[in-house]
Amino acid sequence: MFMTARTLILLRHAKAETPGELTDIDRRLTTQGETDADAVGAWLADEGIAPQLVLCSPAARTRQTWHGVAVALSQAREAAVSPEVRYEAGLYDGGRTEVFDLLRRVPDDVRTVLVVGHNPTMSDVSLLLRPDPEAATLSGLKTAGLAVHRTDRSWATTEPHSMPLITEHTARG
């Protein structure tokens, strides 16, 4: 059976404030982080990549990152279609297993998924997905960094070594 390609974008949130008096989940983006989040959206628009589903950590910095990306994407498209957005606690307090579990539950009619989360989880998942993990860079995703993976397989079969890396990009506005 022929399958249509599915695209996964793993995005590490943009630059956030140092913790200070705030709880970790309440940390917000810096001014540079806001600019970088916009730059991520502009890059995705330039590449013709638009998510149908966004899985986002509920932390303030990831929500703000998604907002910046969404605004830039909508400004770049004339007939903007808003993706479904789910704020998933497992992307904040979980790890790699929770990301794989979330991806396995994505319906197959969804072709492009954006996951907005934290490191080391975003970098770890990207490295694990690659069919040849030894060819992967070891530095991981920087803030506002993204990894784009693609497969012809069903989301339900998402597992380590199942989704080649197409490109990586670090947005700096």
Domains annotated for the chain, with CATH where assigned, are 6-16+25-170 (3.40.50.1240)
Helix (H, G, I), strand (E, B) or coil at 142: coil
> How far is residue 40's CA from residue 58's CA, in Å, rounded to a whole number?
19
CA angle 86-92-98, nearest 5°?
75
> Tell me, what's the pLDDT at 78?
55
User: What's the mean pLDDT in 37-49?
Assistant: 94
> Tell me, what's the pLDDT at 171?
87
> What pLDDT digit, counting tens, does each position of 92-139 carry?
999 999 999 999 999 999 999 999 999 999 999 999 999 886 655 557
> Tell me, what's the pLDDT at 2?
47
Q: What is the mean pLDDT of the chain?
A: 91
- The residue that leads in pLDDT, 139 or 13, is 13
Q: Which distant-in-sequence residues (6+ apart) come within 8 Å of 132 by Cβ?
A: none
